Amino acid sequence: MHIPDGFLNVATIATTYAMSAGGVSYAVKEANRKLKEKHIPLMGVMAAFIFAAQMLNFPIIGGTSGHLIGAALAAILLGPWAAVLIMSCVLIAQCLIFQDGGLLALGANIFNMGIVATFSAYFLYRLATAVLGDSRKGRLIGGFIGAWASVVMASVACAIELAISGASPWAVVLPAMAGLHALIGIGEGLITGAALSLVLATRADLWQLQKV
Amino acid sequence: MKWWHYALIISLLIAVLSPLASSSPDGLEKVAENKGFIGLAQSAPFQVIADYVFPGIYNEAVATILAGLLGTIVIFGVVYGIGWLIKSRRTERTG
């Protein structure tokens, strides 16, 4: 879902850069307050995993592929503000080193996949575990739902930016993006669920870690 | 070995699998193609390791694996470094 340059107009570029800059600087402030020594290697390895997993596009129907975003996994395990920092670092590196996502669109990409995806996943996961209980089952179902919603919500944010920029009309781009990403989100949910159950089996104590 | 060492090794193994990735357009690209606005896309004014293919290597799978391993290691280092910086700045101030 990395937006290349050329899709967004100047107003959208400026607005999304401003919102992302605000979100990231608040995330740094929160991390400053809450980050513990043991968060540091986990954040590094989470970012490394997300980067590697994002390279592995999986096919979905109709000659389309999707890949993990990873915001949900990071938000559930480390908290939403650590996830915002991790996602921003991954997206900045992808843009600067690998030319994945445009330089002018970087603000929008951080906003969609770093902030919108993170908080949609985090709140839905919290809601699901509140309803289903903080059990293994509740966490895995919550993880799946949160991950699915993170992809759909990020795609809706992306579609709104495209429509405002005049790249494509609202009535065309919004259902097309949300519909396709409702399918890609299933992949995100399955990968997130698998990663969470692996963590539950090997390091269940990570859930007791204070969230950033 | 600590738990996160294994997690980092898993991440590097995933990077090695990257040539197996589907090369079909992703969700946004597909929508842009179908709805006729893919032509608006501009390529980057600079290229470092564009499209996750390490430059100057004839074998594309090897070039992709190298790009993936490099990216995974660089990102781990950058995020670890940022976490360490945030943590140590605070310790200085309070201690």
CB contact (8 A) between residue B68 and residue A55:
yes
Phi first, then psi, for residue A5 (nearest 5°) are -70, 150
CA dihedral A140, A143, A145, A149 (to 10 degrees): -170
* ipTM field: 0.94
Give the pLDDT of residue B95: 47
Contact B15, B68 (CB under 8 A): yes
Indicate the pTM of the whole model.
0.96
pLDDT band at A44 (very low <50, low <70, confident <90, very high): very high
Alpha-carbon gap: B58 to the closest alpha carbon of chain A (Å) = 18
Give the pLDDT of residue B92: 67
**pLDDT tens per residue, range B14-65:** 999 999 999 999 999 999 999 999 999 998 888 899 989 999 999 999 999 9
Between CA A197 and CA A137 the distance in angstroms is 10
**What ranges make up the beta strands (E) of chain A?**
58-60, 64-66
Instruction: Using alpha carbons only, give the angle A98, A101, A103 rounded to the nearest 5 degrees.
Output: 95
Q: What is the mean pLDDT of residues A47-69?
A: 95
Task: Using CB atoms, pick whichever of B12, B44, B78 lies closest to residue A102.
Answer: B44
Chains A & B: contacts with CB separation below 8 Å: 197
Question: With 50 as the cut, is the pLDDT of residue A175 above it?
Answer: yes
Q: What is the mean pLDDT of residues A70-91?
A: 97
Contact B16, B63 (CB under 8 A): no
Q: A102: which chain B residues are within 8 Å (Cβ-Cβ)?
A: 42, 44
Long-range contacts (CB closer than 8 Å, 24 or more residues apart) made by A188-191: A188/A66, A188/A68, A188/A69, A188/A72, A188/A147, A188/A148, A188/A150, A188/A151, A189/A143, A189/A144, A189/A145, A189/A147, A189/A148, A190/A144, A191/A53, A191/A68, A191/A73, A191/A147
Between CA A186 and CA A148 the distance in angstroms is 6
**pLDDT tens per residue, range A191-212:** 999 999 999 999 888 888 888 8
Between CA A72 and CA A144 the distance in angstroms is 9
Question: With 50 as the cut, is the pLDDT of residue A181 above it?
Answer: yes
Which sign, positive or negative, has the C-alpha torsion A8, A11, A15, A18? Answer: positive
Chain B residue at shortest CA distance from A35: B87
Task: Report the run of H or E that residue B29 belongs to, with start and end.
Answer: helix B27-34
* Token digits of residue A118: 């993170």
Task: Using CB atoms, pick whichever of A40, A53, A167 lies closest to residue B84.
Answer: A40
CB contact (8 A) between residue A167 and residue B50:
no
Q: A194: which chain B residues are within 8 Å (Cβ-Cβ)?
A: none
Residue A106, Cα to own-chain centre: how many angstroms? 14
| DSSP-assigned letter for residue B35 | T
Alpha-carbon gap: A78 to the closest alpha carbon of chain B (Å) = 13
CB contact (8 A) between residue A52 and residue B71:
yes
